[in-house]
A and B are shown apart, each in its own frame.
Chain A
Amino acid sequence: DGGITQSPKYLFRKEGQNVTLSCEQNLNHDAMYWYRQDPGQGLRLIYYSQIVNDFQKGDIAEGYSVSREKKESFPLTVTSAQKNPTAFYLCASSAGTGGAVGNGYTFGSGTRLTVV
């Protein structure tokens, strides 16, 4: 079955550490997105990528980095510069980036990151 796989499901980070969250999709989707969700809150866009080897900052990119070396993969690194990284992170993909307004997102199951 096609879908998006996020790993790990739970991740614990020590102060000052960089950690990388994995996101892999086998839907052949062009676009991929990373969102952060704080408890009881909505989704905030961190980074997105419309094509391999290209990505753009979202609304809260500071302290995060991404790469898109393969169409299937869009890993997110939470760097030590991110002062409050404890949150739920969701990865999503979409079939197209043009005017096809019916293309919604397929989401992964998320990664809960906690600073210890």
Chain B
Amino acid sequence: AQKITQTQPGMFVQEKEAVTLDCTYDTSDPSYGLFWYKQPSSGEMIFLIYQGSYDQQNATEGRYSLNFQKARKSANLVISASQLGDSAMYFCAMREGSSNTGKLIFGQGTTLQVKP
């Protein structure tokens, strides 16, 4: 069954350093999309980055990059040069191409705290 696993409930990082948030997934569908969302304490969910299963290159969006290792079924989010405003909960999610519902499957989230 499709599943997303985020094994780090909480992470700390020093301001200006890079941090990697782990995400592994499980699917038998060859076509799928992987998403990362950020949820600050205010609660809204902010889309960060997307990676398609057939994309040849790892996705990047500003300070965010996705370390996509297809054979290992991992899609780790890398945040470079951490800022205090990066303190939030981060969710990894997956959408399968064979799904006719469009549902995203979410992981349990990782809470990131950036220390000054």
A-B residue pair count with CB separations less than 8 angstroms: 74
Is the C-beta of B116 less than 8 angstroms from some C-beta in chain A?
no
Interface residues of A, count at CB 8 A: 29
Of A42, A88, A97, the contact of B43 (CB 8 Å cutoff): A88
A101 and B100 contact, CB distance less than 8 A: no
Contacts of B100 in A (CB 8 A): 50, 97-98
Cβ-closest 8 pairs across A and B: A101-B33, A97-B102, A107-B45, A42-B108, A110-B43, A99-B97, A109-B44, A31-B102
What are 18 A-B interface contacts by the 8 Å CB criterion? A31-B101, A41-B108, A42-B106, A48-B103, A92-B45, A99-B31, A101-B32, A102-B33, A103-B95, A104-B47, A104-B93, A105-B35, A105-B37, A105-B45, A105-B104, A107-B45, A109-B43, A110-B44
Query: A residues bordering B, Cβ < 8 Å?
Result: 31, 33, 40-43, 45, 48, 50, 56, 88, 90, 92, 94, 96-99, 101-110, 112
